[in-house]
A and B are shown apart, each in its own frame.
Chain A
Amino acid sequence: MIIRDKFKIALIPFSALVFGIFALILIIFFANSIQIFEKEGLAIYTTSRWLASEDPSLEFYGVLPAIYGSLYTSGIAILIALPLSVAYSVFVVDYAPRRIKEWLIIATDIMTGLPTIIYGIWGAFFLVPFVKKYLMEPLYENFSFIPLFSYPPSTGHSFLSGGILLGIMVTPFAAAIIREAYRTIPYTYREAVYALGATKYEATRVLIGYIKPAILAGLVLAFGRAIGETVAVSLVIGNTFNISPSLFAPGYTISSLIANQFGNAFIYEHMVSALFAAGLSLSFIGLAVNLLVFRMLRRWEHARS
């Protein structure tokens, strides 16, 4: 009893440290953002002008295009990750022969652990020209009247390239969660659906419905990875302040903006603070997404119990 209490007491500083660091991070971000909030107010988040000047009175920073780009590319990534990870999970669990199954799981695990710069370089040297030639150019030539395809694909660096690359990068994360959820569906539900005369396809559809909360959780994780990804995206997105509906237009993301600008930010009076505020917006987005999903899961769980 006494020993256990001692152990408990010994654990407290460690768990306190974890939360302490988290609090410290938020405090530093808030503290450093105050300067730009005092100067611009919320205009930092709601305007698109990015004006670095050695004269502090001319400086103005609006990161809306980067927020837009982050959401746009991460959205594309999720749209790609959803079908890929679900299809992968069903194939691995239901169809892949036992020996191939192991390899498929190992392969996706390796993909989650690959340094992101690897994806970035691959994306810049292979994916961008490939997507430009076989996707953007044909679509632009034939369907440029549709706003999504309306921007001339000059370099190939674009929201689409960023989104596809992110989709490839985050699919293994979503896939791992969805695969495990699909694999651990109680056998009795499989039997139940086949006992009703379902085909394999029909049974899969019903069982996918059963793991809907896990699919959502997998996608949230993927979204979090996508919106926080920095290096790889900055190599393929074009790093341009731009709000355009077109997939083929170049853009920026919050993370790539910070990575690109931080090196010279110290030259200017307000830019460092602007970048901290930009980073802070990522935490807000993350918080909002997590709250939203938490509520959805709670509702499902509540309905289920």
Chain B
Amino acid sequence: MNSLEIINLNVYYGNRHVIKGINLKIPQKVVFAIIGPSGSGKSTLLRAINRLIELDEDAKVEGDVRLFKKSIYEMDPREVRRRIGMVFQQPNPFPHMSIYDNVALGPRLNKLVRNKEELDYLVEWALKKAALWDEVKDRLGDLASKLSGGQQQRLCIARALALKPDVLLLDEPTSALDPVSTAKIENLLLELKKSYTVVIVTHRIQQAARIGDYTAFLLDGKLVEVGDTAQIFVNPKDRRTEAYITGRFG
């Protein structure tokens, strides 16, 4: 079964048509990479998948997104966002909160735990899943802003995982990080796909090649091509895909 199904999705900002009739099926437990040049609508597409786009009053969405066959537009947006976690381009843990509180915030807001023990357990579990536990277990009370950029991004992953989502969306999660931190996150995502569906937007083509099971190429709000990552990179069907991955524009 597909975990996500995007059906004839259109997104408008005022008069601007930014996502143009996209259809996509995203299987379970894979890393699904979305590539494309700046302004191609990658980030907008992600925000339509977890209904975060509704924060922008000017945005209008047509079409449907289904999470395990159920339309997300028939669900409470809060439930959609709980089940489809998101990690952003800039590491954005809440700087005024401790490491612990950052991870605990989601479970607290959604009342996922009944007591302190359960919360402690969940925080530890999420930090371990995000491969951050060993680095922070002795200073959970420190402010999140004391961590390095790479650690902050893994903290954001832990924060998203603590909600026990089905799907994890990542919007260029390594674009602000150094190569070592990037490698750590990429390895982490390969580990996470064993239990989650990971959808990653990236403008680094090599990143999609390294970790994507599937790759979709977006250009100017349209889906140009989607398929096995190997097929997309070795034998693209569309001239524009070939041009993009060989670096002729982008």
- With an 8 Å Cβ cutoff, the count of chain A residues facing the other chain is 22
**Is B163 part of the binding interface, using a Cβ–Cβ cutoff of 8 Å?**
yes
Q: Which of A32-40, A105-113, A129-137, A206-214 contacts B (4 or more CB under 8 A)?
A: A206-214
Asked if A192 and B92 make an inter-chain contact with CB atoms under 8 angstroms apart, the answer reads: yes
A188-B88, A189-B94 provided; 17 other pairs, C-beta below 8 A? Answer: A188-B90, A191-B55, A192-B88, A192-B94, A194-B81, A195-B50, A196-B82, A196-B109, A196-B159, A197-B79, A197-B81, A197-B109, A209-B96, A209-B97, A212-B96, A303-B145, A304-B143
Asked if A196 and B81 make an inter-chain contact with CB atoms under 8 angstroms apart, the answer reads: yes
**Is A180 part of the binding interface, using a Cβ–Cβ cutoff of 8 Å?**
no
Asked if B143 and A196 make an inter-chain contact with CB atoms under 8 angstroms apart, the answer reads: no
**Is B110 part of the binding interface, using a Cβ–Cβ cutoff of 8 Å?**
yes
- Closest-by-CB residue of A relative to B79 is A197
- With an 8 Å Cβ cutoff, the count of chain B residues facing the other chain is 29
Asked if A206 and B94 make an inter-chain contact with CB atoms under 8 angstroms apart, the answer reads: yes
CB-contacts of B80-117 with A (<8 A): 81-82, 85-86, 88-90, 92-97, 105-106, 109-110
Interface residues in chain B, defined as those with a beta carbon under 8 Å from any beta carbon in chain A: 50, 52, 55, 78-79, 81-82, 85-86, 88-90, 92-97, 105-106, 109-110, 143, 145-146, 156, 159-160, 163
Cα separation A165 to B116 with both chains bound (whole Å): 45
Cα separation A271 to B170 with both chains bound (whole Å): 72
**Is A57 part of the binding interface, using a Cβ–Cβ cutoff of 8 Å?**
no
Cα separation A186 to B96 with both chains bound (whole Å): 13
Residue of A195, A198, A303 touching B85 (CB-CB under 8 A): A195
**Is A141 part of the binding interface, using a Cβ–Cβ cutoff of 8 Å?**
no
Write 8 A-B pairs (CB below 8 A) sorted by A numbering. A189-B92, A189-B94, A192-B93, A196-B81, A196-B109, A196-B110, A303-B146, A305-B145
Cα separation A302 to B234 with both chains bound (whole Å): 51
Number of A-B contacts (CB under 8 A): 70
Contact partners of B88 in chain A: CB under 8 A: 188, 191-192, 195
Consensus secondary structure, chain A interface: helix
For the complex of A and B, list the 3 residue pairs with the smallest distance between their C-beta atoms, beginning with the closest: A196-B106, A197-B82, A195-B86
Asked if B96 and A195 make an inter-chain contact with CB atoms under 8 angstroms apart, the answer reads: no
Asked if A199 and B81 make an inter-chain contact with CB atoms under 8 angstroms apart, the answer reads: no
Cα separation A195 to B94 with both chains bound (whole Å): 13
- Closest-by-CB residue of B relative to A98 is B57
Chain A proximity of B3: nearest CB distance (Å): 18
Contact partners of B81 in chain A: CB under 8 A: 194-197
Asked if A194 and B55 make an inter-chain contact with CB atoms under 8 angstroms apart, the answer reads: yes
- Closest-by-CB residue of A relative to B87 is A195
Asked if B105 and A210 make an inter-chain contact with CB atoms under 8 angstroms apart, the answer reads: no
Cα separation A193 to B88 with both chains bound (whole Å): 12
Cα separation A161 to B117 with both chains bound (whole Å): 49
Given A199-B78, A305-B145, A210:B106 Cβ within 8 A: no
Cα separation A186 to B52 with both chains bound (whole Å): 16
- Closest-by-CB residue of B relative to A189 is B92
Cα separation A76 to B123 with both chains bound (whole Å): 41
Chain B proximity of A79: nearest CB distance (Å): 23
Asked if B55 and A190 make an inter-chain contact with CB atoms under 8 angstroms apart, the answer reads: yes
Cα separation A244 to B12 with both chains bound (whole Å): 64
Asked if B145 and A210 make an inter-chain contact with CB atoms under 8 angstroms apart, the answer reads: no
